[in-house]
Amino acid sequence: MVIPFVQAHTALNTAKVHFLTVIPSLPYYSSLGLAYSVEVPKIKEFQHAALAKLDEIVKQFKIPADKIQTHAVTGSPKDQILKLADTIGADLIIIASHKPDISTYLLGSNAAAVVRHAKCPVLVVR
């Protein structure tokens, strides 16, 4: 659903598209109540794998390579999305919503936080 929208938007103007993947840090996992007891791979290994997967996703979009930039960062997804949007001066954030519940008004917690705190419009895709 989002692919045609993004392609049309970039065809009409000189917009750049920043694709972001966020690798949750270990403190983030533990805040979700997830325990970890095995040796954790180095963050660079996670980033490399995440960028490779992101590159596969980006290939689905028919957007000129000079309009695409990919990012793989570590931290809280909502914080990193907002940080990148501020850093690049984003005109629009497109985010998928997962795991909705009534406490976040039927959006996932990350999508809900981005919608509430972003300084630009946010398009939530389900």
Mean pLDDT of the chain: 83
pLDDT at residue 65 tops 70: yes
Q: What is the mean pLDDT of residues 15-27?
A: 85
Measured between alpha carbons, how far is 50 from 94 in angstroms, rounded to an integer? 19
Give the pLDDT band (50/70/90) at residue 27.
low
pLDDT digits (tens, 9 = 90+) for 103-123: 545 667 888 899 999 999 999
**Percent of the chain's residues with pLDDT above 90:** 48
- Domain containing 95: what range? 2-125
pLDDT surpassing 90 at residue 33: no
Q: Output the domain CATH number for residue 8.
A: 3.40.50.620
Q: What are phi and psi of 41, to 5 degrees?
A: -60, 155
HSE, side-chain direction, 13 A CA sphere, residue 88: 19
Could you give the number of structural domains in the chain? Answer: 1
pLDDT, one tens digit per residue, over 8-18 is 888 887 889 99
Of the candidates 57, 73, 84, the residue with the CA atom closest to the CA atom of residue 23: 73
